[in-house]
Structure 1
Amino acid sequence: MSGDAEDLLRVAGLTLGPVGGGRPVLREATLTLAPGRVLGVVGRSGSGKSSLALSLLGRVRPGLERRSGMVRVAGLDPFDPRAPRLLRGRVVSYMGQDPAASLNPALRIGAQMAEAVRVRSPGTADVAGQVRELLASVRLPTDRAFLRRRPHQVSGGQAQRVALAAALAGAPRLLVLDEPTSGLDVPLARQMRELVAASLRRAGRAMVLVSHDPGLVADLADEVVRLEDGRIVASGSPAEVLPARVTPEADHARAPTRRAGAAGAGVLEVRGLSARHGRTTVLQDVSLTVPGGTCTALVGPSGSGKTTLARCLAGLHPIAGGTVSWREAETPHARGRGRAVQYVAQDSVGALNPRETVRTALLRPLRGLRGMPARDAAAEAERTLGLVGLAPGFLARRPGELSGGERQRVNLARALAGAPRVLVCDEITSALDREIGDGVLDLLTSLRRTLGLTVLLVTHDPAAAARYADQVVALDGGRIAEAGVPGLVRASPSPADDPFRVPLLRPAADPAE
């Protein structure tokens, strides 16, 4: 990709690495991008994709530094202390892979969007009208009730689209999107793809698209670079760089993982549960039973109430009605003190304190929930980290020094440190590439077998639900719309939003048959 004076973006010999020395996370990266073009950046989790994306705004993660090389956006150096005022939001805008972390938890959605418009489009006469237009462009409600919600009162997919709408404020010439569809269900991801494509072509906007979804990159990108271990190892057209496209039929037809079976004792029971966000009812009369040692997948469109239900089960959201209980059965394996239900969040960055080491994150539940003395807790922290496949050396690291997959394993380890009977996992693979995500889900299956855990898996991935779950519960509009065992039968194409609709459920066999 040779550049010239017309290039909007130029990167040459860029190397990033830990402060004070150590293995680089990005090595001699060189690329260019002309106005109106789309550059796809692909690679496994931890290959340096997000570090490259952040550098285009003159930012590096905590603990890292720029060692060499240069970046120019519209002729300006984003690492120059004076550049952000001239570049960010107007020339270049960014949406990270954990959009919820970029939203101010104290501000309502409407106020956050209004602030984005004022900062990125100073002088806008009708700020409220611009906010509604931006939200509508990403298929979000524009009514007063939605505008008055705070980030924790919207689903993960809705938070992702709010962040995208904010990034579009100011009509930037270069849009940097890091995993823009990772928190969305299949139909909404497809809609988002179309919306982003329309915005790019209509505005003549350039884009750097970081994604582990080869289908998304193939559809949108003019050129692609592939990173491995911090190096650009391939560049060219999507056909030259991306692997052969996997059809939905082939993806869903993969052999199901061997399930762990009901190795645990007890049962999680939910009866007539309802929940609200303010005055709005988001869950109504939800009842389900999860036998010990099994995995239940909770599916449904963004905004259907999946995350609210997950947080209710973990005691993180107030219940307006109904009950949630863990009924313990006789078991010879005493777990000691702890908390029966532990929650693993979708936002792996926001769930960890950036200033704390992994050791501190694990010691807190070991000391606080289980009352372990310091020496025992230190040994248990190392053992628990080993359960999720991480070496003891990770105890000294901070979240900024971890890849997405490593962060999610640390979050799992922290949940396990609380000696749970039930793990509630909320879209924990949505920001990971398929290979790393499958590794995390395989790990969950292994943990179910060895620890007798019960898992509630919130997911928008029908393949994951079919492959890993013993039963699937579908939410729609805050109610259970369907429940049964996973199915792999592909429906015939439909003219609806999702032309590759795959039924998630096959009803349990009728005893009369």
Structure 2
Amino acid sequence: MTGRVTARPSGAGPLAEISGLTLGPAAGGPPVLHDVCLSVPRGQVLGVVGRSGSGKSSLAYSLLGHVRPGLEVRGGTVRVAGLDPFDGADARRLRGRVVSFLGQDPASSLNPALRIGTQIAEAVRLRSPVKGGAGIRARVGELLMSVRLPDDRAFQRRLPRQLSGGQAQRVALALALAGRPSLLVLDEPTSGLDPVLADGMRGLLAEVLSEGDRAALLVSHAPAWIASVADDVIRLDGGRIVAGGVPGASPPASPSVRSPAGGPRSTAPRVTAAAPAAVGHLFVRGLHAAHGRVSALHDVSLTVPAGSCTALVGPSGSGKTTLARCLAGLHPPARGSVEWRDERARRGRGAPVQLVAQDARGALNPRESVGDALMRPLRGVRGRSVREASCESVRLVGLVGLGAEVLARRPGELSGGQRQRVALARTLAAEPRVLVCDEITSALDPETASGVLDLLDSLRRATGLTVVMVTHDLAAAAARADQVLVLDAGRVVEAGPADRVLVTPEHPVTRELLAREGGPALAVPEQRR
């Protein structure tokens, strides 16, 4: 279906219109978007859903007059407030003032060398009519409070690396709102948020959109959430609009959640090697960590058996990512210890602990092809020959559900979901014994996320791989994890087997997270009860 899709009438003309838009590789090949037509009326929210790689982000970028490297516009028109975002002069009038964009990699929009308050103040100065130091400072505080962040001087002096993924997401939203834009383009705005904050984003968007005739185009992998926010929903598949969505209708069950009976079958590749006996443990004792003078972790202790899966959950900013980085040796603890013991470990055999970061764009070298990114750990860590490493690269991208053609591409030529899977493949190339996964499914559609999690389960069974999973998806934690650790304000507030913590929670923080997820208890596979 390629007919025009329009949100419910608002009594005014559309703020944005796309007619017959077709994008494709500049070198030739199948289009990424094919004959797409839609309009976004003022005061309305249009939701866009679809699998990873279906063209959602390319559609969102088109409203800013941007196409990913390697693509070109083959036909069609785009108009925002009557202007052409692909025209240089019109684009300068539109960006930041009429239309603002929040991408699914929020950290990439933040300058790592500038403090948060400075960045927001600069955006206000450039994009809004507010003038004078006092007025700009007041507007910075107003923006921070509007996205549910502290407006005090201590927070404004933080650097991006001192923020959690959810905090970075909201700071990026504050930057997008600095110029009071008429059209917000949001690509996966809840990917870094826990269920409480994701639910709060619904109210936040309602407040933001209540200002005048502001409209939004909202891309998301969460069908239930987007149905509760959007006035209309369209679905992309292979670059085409294949169906519209009806807000409020029951979305299909997420394949990433396994029911006790087994749930939907995954099409992810299976690892068929015989599972060895799990050996070794990861020990964390009395861990304290800080970002500058700001304490992030307080006396955290846990033991992770080899071959098991441990889920770290908690509100955004609770210290989950800091703990993950400490486990991988990327953040030095102030006190305490992290130790991995493996009686089979041999010198030169892989890298014992590896982190798959939440920000896949920031983790990949933008100038390096996917093939080169995989060759480095295969050659440098595992000592493979060029021929062996080339063959293994093809196997690894296939293992995470990608074709061999991505090996020649750079990160900027991939969708967010594809980048996330490349980051996972590169980590697996180092043959880790412990895989620390920080929100690795946040940029993936439910079907692809289920496939990636099934892959990790298969690797655990086949190789004794230990997985520590930072996640906001409590349903995935219930279905995959053996034990759950709940963090709040840098402290462990609840810990234990998944079938106890997520079925009969004891701490108020755990109960609130579960309530926002959809109920007081989640389905845990029968074999683990």
Relative to the length of structure 2, the TM-score reads 0.88
Q: Which amino acid aligns with 1:452?
A: G
Residue 510 of structure 1 is matched in structure 2 by none
Q: Provide the C-alpha distance between the structure 2 equivalents of 1:218 and 1:363, rounded to a whole number of angstroms.
A: 42
In the alignment, does 2:316 pair up with 1:302? yes
In the alignment, does 2:88 pair up with 1:81? yes
- Pick one of 301, 307, 317 that aligns with 1:287: 301
Q: Provide the C-alpha distance between the structure 1 equivalents of 2:450 and 2:292, rounded to a whole number of angstroms.
A: 37
Equivalent positions of 1:264-343 (< 5 A) are 264-330=278-344, 336-343=348-355
Q: Provide the C-alpha distance between the structure 2 equivalents of 1:130 and 1:204, rounded to a whole number of angstroms.
A: 21
Residue 207 of structure 2 is matched in structure 1 by 198
The secondary structure found in structure 2 opposite 1:30 is: strand
Equivalent positions of 1:65-464 (< 5 A) are 65-125=72-132, 126-235=135-244, 237-238=246-247, 244=251, 255=261, 263-330=277-344, 336-464=348-476
Q: Is the 8 A contact 1:472 1:505 kept in 2?
A: no
Q: Deviations over 1:350-400 (max 9, x none)?
A: 221222111100111122323434333333333333433434333222223
Q: Deviations over 1:47-72 (max 9, x none)?
A: 11110000000001111111111100
Residue 45 of structure 1 is matched in structure 2 by 52
Of 21-30 and 36-45, the range deviating more from structure 2: 36-45
Q: Deviations over 1:282-307 (max 9, x none)?
A: 10111111111111001111000000
The secondary structure found in structure 2 opposite 1:82 is: helix
Q: Is the 8 A contact 1:473 1:484 kept in 2?
A: yes
Q: Provide the C-alpha distance between the structure 2 equivalents of 1:451 and 1:408, rounded to a whole number of angstroms.
A: 22
Q: Is the 8 A contact 2:313 2:487 kept in 1?
A: yes
TM-aligned CA distance change 1:390 to 1:92, over 3 Å: closer
Q: Which amino acid aligns with 2:353?
A: V
User: What is the CA RMSD across the aligned residues, in angstroms?
Assistant: 2.8
TM-aligned CA distance change 1:389 to 1:225, over 3 Å: closer
Q: Which runs of 5+ in 1 are unaligned?
A: 507-513
Q: Is the 8 A contact 2:12 2:41 kept in 1?
A: no
Q: Provide the C-alpha distance between the structure 2 equivalents of 1:264 and 1:496, rounded to a whole number of angstroms.
A: 35
Q: Is the 8 A contact 2:282 2:339 kept in 1?
A: yes
Q: Is the 8 A contact 1:274 1:285 kept in 2?
A: yes
Q: Provide the C-alpha distance between the structure 2 equivalents of 1:114 and 1:308, rounded to a whole number of angstroms.
A: 27
Q: Provide the C-alpha distance between the structure 2 equivalents of 1:391 and 1:385, rounded to a whole number of angstroms.
A: 6
Q: CA deviation at 1:251?
A: 6.4
Q: CA deviation at 1:14?
A: 0.3
Q: Which amino acid aligns with 2:216?
A: M
Q: Which amino acid aligns with 1:144?
A: R
TM-aligned CA distance change 1:226 to 1:316, over 3 Å: same
In the alignment, does 2:57 pair up with 1:57? no
TM-aligned CA distance change 1:337 to 1:278, over 3 Å: same
Q: Which amino acid aligns with 1:308?
A: T
Q: Which runs of 5+ in 2 are unaligned?
A: 266-270, 525-529
Residue 268 of structure 2 is matched in structure 1 by none
Q: Provide the C-alpha distance between the structure 2 equivalents of 1:76 and 1:389, rounded to a whole number of angstroms.
A: 39
Q: Which amino acid aligns with 1:364?
A: R
Q: Is the 8 A contact 1:311 1:317 kept in 2?
A: yes
Q: CA deviation at 1:107?
A: 1.1
Equivalent positions of 1:9-20 (< 5 A) are 9-20=16-27
The secondary structure found in structure 1 opposite 2:326 is: helix
Q: Is the 8 A contact 1:212 1:433 kept in 2?
A: yes
Equivalent positions of 1:457-472 (< 5 A) are 457-472=469-484
Q: Deviations over 1:183-242 (max 9, x none)?
A: 111011001111111221243311111112122222221222111110011236435xx6
TM-aligned CA distance change 1:443 to 1:302, over 3 Å: same
Q: CA deviation at 1:269?
A: 0.7
Q: Provide the C-alpha distance between the structure 2 equivalents of 1:301 and 1:2, rounded to a whole number of angstroms.
A: 36
Q: Provide the C-alpha distance between the structure 2 equivalents of 1:470 and 1:430, rounded to a whole number of angstroms.
A: 21
Q: Which amino acid aligns with 1:164?
A: L
Q: Provide the C-alpha distance between the structure 2 equivalents of 1:208 and 1:454, rounded to a whole number of angstroms.
A: 39
